[in-house]
Each structure stands twice: as C-alpha cells, then as structure tokens.
C-alpha cells in the first residue's frame, strides 16, 4: 500500500495533542507488573510496540485491564511472574525484548522470544554479554547475537557486577538494572554518556534505591516494590519532534504542542533546533512521577546549519531522521557525528536517510560509517520513497514531503508502532 502526502498549503496553527511516551509506557507496564498493589496508568501509548509489552506481561500471568483510556495493572509482586505457555513475541519492539531479557534472566522459568523480521536482525549480544556476566543463561541464533533467544533459569542467584557500557543505550542499561533488582549485591553501570533515565526514575518512584553519580548508576537489590497508585505518562517528545520540525520550517507556523515530556535526557532536539535558530518555548512546566513535562510553543523561523555529536546523540537518537529534515531547510551545512547507532535501529537509518531523502532533495544528504552530513538546499522534488517499514522513517518522510513538494510513501501504516494518530494530525487543521 502507498500513501500520498501533499505539499502543505499553510503553516501549523492551534494546538496539537500527542500520544503518551513510548519508553515510559513500556516501563509503566513492566514495573507495575512487579508490584503487589494495582497501578492505574493514564495516557498510556496504545502503539503496537507497547501493546507487545502488554501481551508479554499478560502471558506471564499479570492481570492487565483496559478501562477507557486507562490501563489497570494488577501485578503479583516482584517474584510473581509465571512461566508463559508459549513463545513471547516482541514484534518490532527492541525495548520490549531487551528490557524483558533483563527482567527474565533472574526468573526460575524458561522463556523464548521471537520478533518481526526487523527485530530478528538487530543486535542482542550487547544485552546478553552483561547479563551473562551476572550469571544469566541465554542462548540465541548466530552465536547468541540474534532472535530467537531463549533464557534458561540460572543455576544460582545472579550476582551484582560493575559494567562499563561500550555504547550509551537505555535499553541495555535498563536490562541490567532490572536484572540487578534480583541480584546478590550491588550492580554498577557506567555509561559513556547519559542515556534516557526513565527506568531509574520509575523504579525510584517504586521505592528502589538507585544512585546516580556522573555517568555511573548503582542499583541495590530489593525484596518488594512499593507502588504508587497511578502513573501519568507524559506525551512523547519523539512524537512531538515531527511537529517541532514541521512548524520550524513551514512559513507562518505558530503552534502549541500540549503535554510533552521534557526529561533532560530526551530534550536534545530542543537544544539542537534552538542552536539552528528555531523559536521554541516551554509553557506550563510541571512534574509528575519524577518526569517533567510542558506545553511547547513553536514559531516558524529561518534555520541555519549546525554541528553536533558525542553526548548530544543519546539525547536525540530517535529524532535524527526528523532533525535531518530540518537541516535540509537550513542555510548551510549540518554535520551530525557519532551516529553509528542509527545503523542498528528498526532499519539502517543512516543508509535509508541518504537513499530516500536524496530523492526529495538531490545531493543534500551524505553519510560516512558513523556521521550524517546535510547540505542545506532550497530545491525539492515530489518523490516516491521507501519507509523500510520503519515508523520514524515514515513520519519523517511525511513531514519532509509536506514541507517540500509532496511525497508518496510505502507501508504508511508502520506509524502505528509509536503514533497511531499521526496522519489525523498531519491531515487535520493543525
């Protein structure tokens, strides 16, 4: 199936409501499943990825009910997960798979995971290595690198380790933290740069002792979580990213994006867009469950190129396909360094950006093994582009086409992974 996105006739105006944060939605279900008392989750993202997490937790005996817009999770305690009757399917979701590998490594039952064709190609050795150091028994295809993966009950209690992570990855960090909850002794993780810290924040709200010292995180095992009665999931800044970029490059735009999570480990896009000359303001800042959120006002402005990399990358890793669109509308060159991780996302996003975006803006995008260079251009063509079934490629191409001369994309429904109402907002008044 193909979908045509037309050139926008005017700028973005009014208010946009975005769905709940994907990372926090996953964690709200997994961590609430380990509590002894029910937790009500509001503004949960009902995207395919988070529904994969719900299905996996239900398969392990957790009672999860949907009540209107709310999800009620009735966990059976920290030691209450049950052996699933069949293989767990993580679908397209790296977060479901990697975090659950950590959570299930200390359990006394066997689990096997599968996933879709994209997830089957993605590297799992990065999670298996530290978990194995803790004493977990995990086997996978291709010398334990890929799905399908089986977690065999460990002979002994896992042990706390000190682990220096080679790449900043919240999924790997979270897997180790979840395993560390059940370990013998303290587990320390050192990241090259801080990645998103939603697991740490949520576990702290559930009474766990997690210390953060620079790039080091220490987790002390616990016997029982003390759950809050409810968790309010803020809107997803990764979903807001499409409107932040579109409003910044579409003339006459002046829009307010409501209730966006602005956790420091996620706001790289705001910093970089401001660096490029974007006009972005936070209104109504508030805190809930340790997570900050705000309404974000974005007003059109002329952008210029910039250079960034290193510690900025984990703070905007999922927004690079959208930021690359903004860079195409900016004056001068933009250079994004240290982005090799993009090659192991839902698709090779560096290659996909260069191959597909250049169909809209010929010669504007170049990549090396781990960097992306964008030459600001002002000539665009209408093109037919491939999404590679990657939700963020689809949404970034859609806003690119809307701001340029239109675009036709394949597999448009892959946006359901993180943003089921994306086209309603794109084609609506705002």
Using the CB atoms, write b or e for 84-98: b if 16+ within 10 Å.
beeebbbbbbbbbbb
List, in order, residues 6 or more apart from 324 with CB less than 8 Å away. Answer: 334, 336, 353, 357, 365, 372, 374, 396
3-state DSSP of 211-265: EEECCEEEECCCCCCCCCCEEECCECHHHHHHHHHHHHHCCCCEEEEEEEECCHH
CA distance 203 to 186: 15
Instruction: Supply the minimum distance, in Å, between the C-beta of residue 388 and ligand S3P.
Output: 16
CA distance 145 to 427: 41
Q: Of residues 113-172, which lie at the interface with ligand S3P (CB under 6 A)?
A: 169-171
Establish if 318 lies at the interface with ligand S3P (CB under 6 A).
yes
Encoded tokens for 304: 């210029």
Instruction: Supply the minimum distance, in Å, between the C-beta of residue 23 and ligand S3P.
Output: 3
Instruction: Supply the minimum distance, in Å, between the C-beta of residue 248 and ligand S3P.
Output: 22
Instruction: Supply the minimum distance, in Å, between the C-beta of residue 301 and ligand S3P.
Output: 28
Q: How far is CA 294 from CA 230, 262, 418, in A?
A: 20, 7, 20
User: Closest-CB residue for ligand S3P?
Assistant: 23
355 is catalytic: no
The residue (of 77 and 340) whose beta carbon lies closer to ligand S3P is: 340
Residue pointed to by tokens 């420091």: 264
Q: Are the C-beta atoms of 173 and 179 separated by less than 8 Å?
A: no
Instruction: Supply the minimum distance, in Å, between the C-beta of residue 202 and ligand S3P.
Output: 11
Instruction: Supply the minimum distance, in Å, between the C-beta of residue 154 and ligand S3P.
Output: 24
Out of 318, 348, 390, 429, the active site residue is 318
Q: Which of 52, 95, 334, 416 binds ligand S3P (CB under 6 A)?
A: 95
Number of residues that bind ligand S3P (CB under 6 A): 11
CA distance 343 to 125: 16
Instruction: Supply the minimum distance, in Å, between the C-beta of residue 223 and ligand S3P.
Output: 26
Establish if 317 lies at the interface with ligand S3P (CB under 6 A).
yes
Q: Is 14 helix (H, G, I), strand (E, B) or coil?
A: strand
CA distance 238 to 28: 18
Residue pointed to by tokens 């009500």: 40
Establish if 203 lies at the interface with ligand S3P (CB under 6 A).
no
Q: Site mask, ligand S3P, residues 211-250, x = CB under 6 A?
A: ----------------------------------------
Q: How far is CA 21 from CA 24, 27, 61, 266, in A?
A: 5, 10, 25, 11
Q: Are the C-beta atoms of 423 and 412 separated by less than 8 Å?
A: yes
Establish if 200 lies at the interface with ligand S3P (CB under 6 A).
no
Encoded tokens for 256: 């307010």
Establish if 23 lies at the interface with ligand S3P (CB under 6 A).
yes
Establish if 93 lies at the interface with ligand S3P (CB under 6 A).
no
User: What residue ranges bind ligand S3P (CB under 6 A)?
Assistant: 23, 95, 169-171, 174, 195-196, 317-318, 341
Active site residues: 318
């Amino acid at each position: 199936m193909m979908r045509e996105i037309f050139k926008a006739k005017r700028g973005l105006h009014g208010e946009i409501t975005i769905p709940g944060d994907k990372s926090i939605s996953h964690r709200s279900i997994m961590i609430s499943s380990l509590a002894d008392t029910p937790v009500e989750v509001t503004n949960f993202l009902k995207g395919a990825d988070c529904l994969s997490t719900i299905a996996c937790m239900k398969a392990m005996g957790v009672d999860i009910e949907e009540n209107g817009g709310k999800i009620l999770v009735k966990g059976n305690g920290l030691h209450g997960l049950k052996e699933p009757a069949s293989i767990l399917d993580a679908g397209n979701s790296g977060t479901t798979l990697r975090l659950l590998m950590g959570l299930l490594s200390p359990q006394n039952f066997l689990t096997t995971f599968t996933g879709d064709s994209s997830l089957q190609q993605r590297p799992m050795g990065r999670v298996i290595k530290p978990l194995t150091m803790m004493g977990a028994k995990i086997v996978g295809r291709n010398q334990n690198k890929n799905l399908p993966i089986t977690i065999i009950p460990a002979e002994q209690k896992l042990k706390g380790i000190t682990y220096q992570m080679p790449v900043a990855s919240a999924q790997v960090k979270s897997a180790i933290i979840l395993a560390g909850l059940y370990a013998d002794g303290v587990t320390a993780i050192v990241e090259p740069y801080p990645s998103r810290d939603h697991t740490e924040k949520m576990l702290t709200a559930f009474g766990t002792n997690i210390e953060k010292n620079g790039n080091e995180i220490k987790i002390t095992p616990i016997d029982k979580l003390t759950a809050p009665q409810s968790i309010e999931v803020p809107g997803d800044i990764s979903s807001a990213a499409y409107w932040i970029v579109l409003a910044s490059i579409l003339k006459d735009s002046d829009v307010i994006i409501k209730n966006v999570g602005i956790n420091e480990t996620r706001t790289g896009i705001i910093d970089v867009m401001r660096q490029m000359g974007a006009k972005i303001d936070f209104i109504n800042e508030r805190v809930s469950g340790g997570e900050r959120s705000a309404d974000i006002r974005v007003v059109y402005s002329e952008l210029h190129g910039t250079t960034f990399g290193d510690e900025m990358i984990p703070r905007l890793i999922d927004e690079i396909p959208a930021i690359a669109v903004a860079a195409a509308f900016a004056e001068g060159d933009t250079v994004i360094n240290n982005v090799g991780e993009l090659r192991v996302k839902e698709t090779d996003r560096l290659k996909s950006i260069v191959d597909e975006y250049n169909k809209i803006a010929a010669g504007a995008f170049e990549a090396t093994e781990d960097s992306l260079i964008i030459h600001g251009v002002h000539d665009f063509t209408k093109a037919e582009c491939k999404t590679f079934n990657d939700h963020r490629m689809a949404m970034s191409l859609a806003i690119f086409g809307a701001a340029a001369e239109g675009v036709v994309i394949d597999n448009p429904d892959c946006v359901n992974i993180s943003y089921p109402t994306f086209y309603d907002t794109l084609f609506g008044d705002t």
